[in-house]
Amino acid sequence: MPGQLLHLGATVICAHSGPAQPTRTEPRVLISGMPTVTATAPYTVAGCTLLQPPGPCLTAQWVSTATRVRIGGLPALLSDGRAQCTPTGTPLSVLATQTRVKGI
């Protein structure tokens, strides 16, 4: 199923409402004037509200990416992809992203 390609301006949060940002972007490919994000870039989570063990979400890695779209030779991230937070194992949610470019 196609999803929107993620870029630096996408709004991504952990399951506990902590904002997540990519650690790396691909500045050579822009969507809506912002760099795109590839599968190898982990996300950092700041402000996770989970206080019980195992503690707040700190990072997240995408486990489901585009299968047909590559950016710089790496799979692109899609709004319908899946990511898993560490150490909680909860998912990231994409709340908003650009609407012009879709990928599979």
Average pLDDT over residues 77-95: 96
Q: Which fold has domain 3-103?
A: Tumour Suppressor Smad4 (2.60.200)
pTM of the model: 0.92
Encode pLDDT of 48-78 as tens digits. Answer: 999 889 999 999 999 999 999 999 999 999 9
DSSP state of 42: P
DSSP helix/strand/coil, 30: strand
Mean residue pLDDT of the chain comes to: 95
User: Can you give the residue ranges of every domain in the chain?
Assistant: 3-103
Contact (Cβ atoms closer than 8 angstroms) between residue 19 and residue 45: yes
- The pair of three-digit structure tokens given for residue 104, joined into one six-digit string: 């599979």
